[in-house]
């Protein structure tokens, strides 16, 4: 592009030079995620990942690539308002990587997409810093991405982040609900808070546009709403992979939008119900605060938020102790949430969601 063309583009609202500067600033963050033998430069037309670098690839009988894509929803608005930009990328990686590990896949690589009203290189680099940290936590490489300026469509300080993750698993080791049976236990892996779901409801309860979110609150054990709501989504990839090596896990569910009622049934075969011990659910203060302040019903809370459970694993009852010990060694304070009940007889009078989830 000639200098005159670059100037004309800048007059239209797109800063080519800022784009170059963004790439320059983010390179050191990307470098943290790369494996030995990978291409270190970014900015090409495509990102490459040599499959020979995939752990265990040569021993796989039938390698299957598993992909996932997601964003961070309206949580992005809180990041914009607070100016805390180096954690939202962790959320983006988590939402994708946590999904693909649910089928037993190990994440290999990640690409991000950042749309913005105006490219401020330092801001973009801060977002990518979080993406890189998420990739380190998930054990995958950040091999590329895109930053797109949308002048006229987005306000100058607005931005959005989305991502795409690819993992690999041997077909014979893929997890699926069909193996789940009567008496299997449901193991809960705690969340760090709302993660990246339910923020449209949160923004109705808390006026994040005008309210001071930096005040410590007794209801939140002295923490602020900014701390609690912007806490990055927990990335469960490494603990789950350790768990899969230690015990016979049948199915996994990532508790995202739709909470318990939508996501737990995705790990169950037809005719099976999750019997959840309500008193066992370890609910963090942020959820109790939101429920009380917003006058939200218990059902709607469990139908919107993760309520402190970011992921569940279903496995044989006789392996629960080993599973809990394995997760504890990985830094996860896991616990038994309930059991699976399978029956051919379902009360037709029950509401649809209570046919698959029942609190005891």
- The predicted pLDDT at position 33 comes to 76
* Helices marked H in 38-87: 75-82
pLDDT tens sequence across 226-270: 999 999 999 999 999 999 999 999 999 999 999 999 999 999 998
Cβ-based neighbour number of residue 117 at 10 Å:
17
* 3-173 is a CATH 3.30.1330.10 domain: yes
Task: State the average pLDDT for the chain.
Answer: 91
pLDDT tens sequence across 188-220: 999 999 999 999 999 999 999 999 999 999 999
Name 240's Cβ contacts closer than 8 Å, sequence gap at least 6: 101, 252, 311, 313
- The predicted pLDDT at position 14 comes to 52
Is there a contact between 179 and 252 (Cβ–Cβ < 8 Å)?
no
Q: Which residues pair with 352 in a beta bridge?
A: none
Average confidence (pLDDT) over 116-121: 92
- The predicted pLDDT at position 43 comes to 60
Is there a contact between 90 and 235 (Cβ–Cβ < 8 Å)?
yes
- The predicted pLDDT at position 212 comes to 94
Where do the domains of the chain lie?
Answer: 3-173, 177-359
Q: What's the number of CA atoms in the CB half-sphere (13 Å) around residue 110?
A: 39
* Helices marked H in the chain: 3-11, 16-31, 75-82, 88-100, 121-138, 199-205, 225-230, 237-246, 259-263, 285-294, 298-302, 320-329
Q: Which two tokens stand for residue 168?
A: 């690999």
Q: Which residues pair with 145 in a beta bridge?
A: 112
- The predicted pLDDT at position 350 comes to 65
pLDDT at 5 over 70: no
Average confidence (pLDDT) over 281-293: 98
pLDDT tens sequence across 129-174: 999 999 999 999 999 999 999 998 999 999 999 999 999 999 999 9
Task: Give the chain's largest Cα–Cα span.
Answer: 74
292 vs 54: which has the higher pLDDT: 292
Q: What is the arrangement of strands in the sheet containing 159-170, beginning at the earlier edge strand?
A: 63-71, 159-170, 106-116, 141-149
Confidence bin at 30 (pLDDT 50/70/90): confident
Length of the chain, in residues: 360
pLDDT tens sequence across 48-100: 888 888 888 989 999 999 999 999 999 999 999 999 999 999 999 999 999 99
Q: What is the CA radius of gyration of the chain?
A: 22
How many percent of the chain have pLDDT more than 70? 88
Burial of 6 from C-beta contacts in 10 A (0-12 / 13-18 / 19+): middle
Expressed in angstroms, the distance from the first to the final Cα of the chain is 66
Does residue 18 sit in helix, strand or coil?
Answer: helix
CATH number for 177-359: choose from 1.10.1380.10, 3.40.50.880, 3.40.50.720, 3.90.650.10: 3.90.650.10
Name 112's Cβ contacts closer than 8 Å, sequence gap at least 6: 89, 92, 128, 131, 142, 145, 146, 161, 162, 163, 164
Dihedral sign (CA 336, 340, 346, 351): positive
DSSP character at residue 156: T
- Position of tokens 């119900």? 273
């Amino acid at each position: 592009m000639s200098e005159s063309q670059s100037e004309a583009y800048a007059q239209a609202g797109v800063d080519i030079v800022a784009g170059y500067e963004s790439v320059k600033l983010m390179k050191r963050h990307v470098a943290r995620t790369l494996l030995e033998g990978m291409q270190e430069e970014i900015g090409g037309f495509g990102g490459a990942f040599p499959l020979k670098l995939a752990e265990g690839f040569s021993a796989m009988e039938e390698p299957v690539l598993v992909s996932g894509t997601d964003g961070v929803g309206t949580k992005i608005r809180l990041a914009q308002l607070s100016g805390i930009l180096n954690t939202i990328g962790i959320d983006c990686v988590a939402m994708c990587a946590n999904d693909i590990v649910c089928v037993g896949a190990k994440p290999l690589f990640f690409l991000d997409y950042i749309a913005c009203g105006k490219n401020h290189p330092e801001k973009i680099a801060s977002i990518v810093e979080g993406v890189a940290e998420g990739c380190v936590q998930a054990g995958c490489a950040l091999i590329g991405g895109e930053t797109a300026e949308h002048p006229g469509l987005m306000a100058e300080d607005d931005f959005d982040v989305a991502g795409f993750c690819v993992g690999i698993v041997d077909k014979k080791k893929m997890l699926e609900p069909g193996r789940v049976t009567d008496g299997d236990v449901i193991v809960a892996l705690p969340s760090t808070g709302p993660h990246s779901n339910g923020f449209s409801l949160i923004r109705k309860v808390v006026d994040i546009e005008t309210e001071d979110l930096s005040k410590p609150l007794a209801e939140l054990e002295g923490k602020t709403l900014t701390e609690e709501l912007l806490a990055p989504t927990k990335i469960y990839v490494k603990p789950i992979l350790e768990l899969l090596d230690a015990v016979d896990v049948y199915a996994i569910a990532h508790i995202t939008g739709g909470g318990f009622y939508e996501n737990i049934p995705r790990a169950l075969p037809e005719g099976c119900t999750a019997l959840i011990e309500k008193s066992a659910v370890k609910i963090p203060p942020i959820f109790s605060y939101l429920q009380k302040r917003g006058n939200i019903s218990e059902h709607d809370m469990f139908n919107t938020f993760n309520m402190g459970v970011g992921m569940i694993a279903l496995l044989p009852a006789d392996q629960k102790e080993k599973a809990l010990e394995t997760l504890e060694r990985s830094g996860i304070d896991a616990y038994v949430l309930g059991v699976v009940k399978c029956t051919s007889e379902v009360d037709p009078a029950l509401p649809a969601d209570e046919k698959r989830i029942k609190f005891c």
